[in-house]
Amino acid sequence: MDFDDDDDSDIFASAISTSIRTSSAQEPTESSDQYLKITVTSPQKMGDGMGSYVAYKVETKTNIQLYRKRVFSVNRRFSDFLGLHDKLTEKFLRSGRIIPPAPEKSVIGTTKIKMSGEKSQEQNSGSSEFLERRRAALERFLNRLASHPLFCIDPDVREFLEADMELPKATNTSALSGAGVMRLFNKVGETVNKITYKMDENDSWFEETITHIDCLDSQLRSLNGAVESLTNQRKELASCTGATARSIAVLGHGEPSASLGRALAQLAETLEKVEVVRKAQANSDLYQFGEMIRDYVALIGAIKDVFHERVKVFQNWQHAQIMLNKKREQKARMEQTGRSDKTNQASTEVIEWEAKVERGQEEFDKISTMIRKEVERFETVRVHEFKKQLIQYLEAMLQHQNQLIKHWESFLPEAKAVA
């Protein structure tokens, strides 16, 4: 598959690459004591038709002793990334860890790639953009894992990064499978439970944090919509600029005045350059800023998941407490009625439920403590990352504006020279 179908591909690839290099404030560097740097490159379609898939090259550099080599690479398909996310969720969500979100499945985008063949330049450009955005999202996902002190040394992560073989096919990762549909229904059920169940929270930190996270989620979603609107407007402006350039070029060819004809031709060339700059501006809006916002919307969802897990742990603890009270009442009734044959069994059940209550409270305390640490880490990374990314974005905007000024300044003498 050709990934250079359109001149814009280099622009958006460059913009995404810049965004990824600044996407993690906690990413280790080679100058630090320990580092794990990951790049995802070379998306390549394998096979034909609906049975095809896209494989990505995952390249890793590290000095962590648990890894067998310092530099290595493997090929992984999209479902492998989703499978890794599912494994980490199963292992660590219950303990209060915030699992970095994997890229969302896209039925439409995936189907277009699977069915792509001899298509128009515009259609292939759309497929290339989809693949590039997904590649960038996969790289962000892995580097968030790499920057986490626990996930970077997890056995499943290490196997994913360095096992030079095909991984067992991940289950339940297809958006079109029956299992995928059932998971969607389960998520809807859990969402309803999140909305309807309100925990009697005695910890003010959690009350304030939940309110803050909900507010941040709303603000980020609103900002994401605004950035998408800005991007679309810039793309439309670029398209209109290009159309204007072509119309002026035609007008210049038919102009009998030589000086005015030259000025119109120069104006058309200037507008063509302006079109390129405005396309670059739109790509900066989307890939340097918009992609970060989208990523954080997904991260907020991951934080909400871990808070919901805490609620489930609390529910289990409270259920155990209710059952313990019932068993104690049953034991008391047995003792009052003198049924010694049932009293011993009741006593045993009371002891069992007392142990469950104790384990439930211990699990609740542990997940609460871990969530505090994870959220504090998230906030530290978020503030640093937003600052770094905004500076990068603003520098790009200034560069684009300077380019526009230079283009118009170079045209001004030609306009003044018209007789």
pLDDT average per 10 residues of sequence, the chain (419 residues): 43 45 42 82 78 88 94 94 95 95 70 51 61 89 94 96 85 52 51 55 88 95 95 95 96 89 94 96 90 92 96 95 94 82 87 96 96 95 91 95 96 87
3-class DSSP assignment, residue 77: strand
pLDDT the model gives residue 104: 80
pLDDT of res. 25: 38
Instruction: Kindly state whether residues 147 and 218 are assigned to the same domain.
Output: no
Residue 99 lies in a domain: yes
Q: Are 317 and 357 in contact (CB under 8 A)?
A: yes
Sign of CA dihedral 245, 246, 247, 250: positive
Q: How far is CA 124 from the centre of its chain?
A: 24
C-alpha–C-alpha distance, residues 35 and 29, integer Å: 5
Rounded Cα distance between 34 and 28, Å, is 7
The answer to whether residue 185 sits within a structural domain is: no
**Residues 160 and 48 occupy one common structural domain:** yes
143 plus 234 within the same structural domain: no
| 72 belongs to a structural domain | yes
Same domain, 297 and 243: yes
In a domain, 274, yes or no: yes
Give the residue carrying structure tokens 């104006």. 267
298 occurs within a structural domain? yes
**Within this chain, do residues 404 and 295 fall inside the same structural domain, yes or no?**
yes
Number of independent structural domains in the chain: 2
149, 237: one domain? no
Show the domain range for 164. 33-114+123-168
pLDDT score of 266: 95
Note whether 261 and 151 are same-domain residues: no
pLDDT of the residue at 28: 43
